[in-house]
Amino acid sequence: MTTPGALDGVVVADFSRVLAGPYATMLLGDLGAEIIKVERPGAGDDTRQWGPPYTVDGTATYFTSVNRNKSSVAIDLGTPEGLDQARDLARRADVMVENFKPGTLSRMGLGYDDLASHNPGLIFCSISGFGSGEGKELPGYDLLVQAMGGLMSVTGPDPEHPTKVGVALVDVVTGLHAVYGILAALHHRTTTGQGQHVEVNLLSSLLSAMVNQSAAYVAGGVVPGILGNDHPSITPYSVYATADRPLVLAVGNDRQFRSLVTVLGIAGFADDARFATNPARVAHRDDVRLILESALSAHGADHWQRELTAAGVPCGPVNDIRGAFDLATSLDLSPVVTVPGTEVPQVANPLRMSATPPTYRSAPPAVGEHS
């Protein structure tokens, strides 16, 4: 018996490519929506060529990571026949997702106004780099937005070495924003019968996702800078050396700090005026590091994780990706799934739902496999 999906019956015309849009549509597909991916004949989505690494069947892992639970149709939008096919698909869809340069689809007769006149319930989601206004001509690449949007200015070892995050995080965050915008629009349509145009862009998504760092500027007039692995408002909340490998301490309050120094055998520092409160520790973060690392040097990271976790102090080693999956597996989180029709394992959807859980129905398609 097939498990019901929360979005069963919802048809999504996916005109997006690369990451933000395909990630969003895959998440919708995991919840039961029918995703029809529109690709260029022959070449398909750019990420099909983004390798190595490749899966055992020769597919780029980048493409595989965001394209399960989809069918693929090859449509040439440069021909009248292709445009007619695209219009037909969009007119019968519940949702259309696209990340063309703003204005491109309107010039083809595939813009929201063109399609909504025939399909008034259509939810049309546009994803761009810098919005559809003055920034519409700017190229929407994750690395550019990490730089221009300020993320690199608060990431890295020091101010001379601004550093990107090790994954296209802005694309992922934008895809998540697109999903909740689409779900909100579907709910609105359920109550009113009306579709709408949902717009989301990488820059605005990043500014929202930088939360306390953005608020430091907007609400406090402070321009945050690079602190390496330190936190601007909490100490100790960083990576610290031990006898063998680094250990992260994430001490969020004074009670946890007292437990930390007690386990380390330096309990007296909890009553030192320089360290008794979090604001005081932030002001003396360098002294905190010297004291803690001196004590931590007595044992390795695994020893301290056992002892500190037992005492209620948040901590953990810096794992590589293999270690992270091993950890999730040991915690019964089932981070890897098998998708029918392929021997290639996939990363599981993180949602757990008691009635309509995510499902894994089909492997990433070949270009035009379902045309």
**Hey, which residues are catalytic here?**
171
Query: Which residue type sits at 209?
Result: A
- Tell me the sheet residues that pair with 97: 14, 125
Greatest Cα pair distance, the chain, in angstroms, is: 78
Q: Is 109 helix (H, G, I), strand (E, B) or coil?
A: coil
Name beta bridge partners: 195: none
Q: Which conformational region is residue 157 in: left (phi greater than 0), alpha (psi within -120 to 50 degrees), or beta?
A: alpha
Give the C-alpha separation, 264 to 238, whole Å: 17
Q: Could you say which DSSP state residue 54 is in? A: B
What's the token pair of residue 369?
Answer: 């496999």
What one-letter code names the amino acid at 347?
A: V
Sequence-ordered strand ranges (E) for the chain:
11-15, 34-39, 70-74, 95-98, 123-128, 196-201, 237-240, 247-250, 315-317, 336-338, 345-347
Q: Using an 8 Å Cβ cutoff, are 24 and 175 in contact?
A: yes
**Count of helix runs (H) and strand runs (E) in the chain:** 14, 11
**Helix (H/G/I), strand (E/B), else coil: 140:** coil
Residue 319: exposed, middle, or buried by beta-carbon count in 10 A (0-12, 13-18, 19+)? Answer: exposed
Alpha-carbon distance of 85 to 77, in angstroms, equals: 9
Residue type, 322: R
Angle 7-10-14 (CA atoms, 0-180°, nearest 5)? 110
Structure tokens of 75?
A: 């449509």
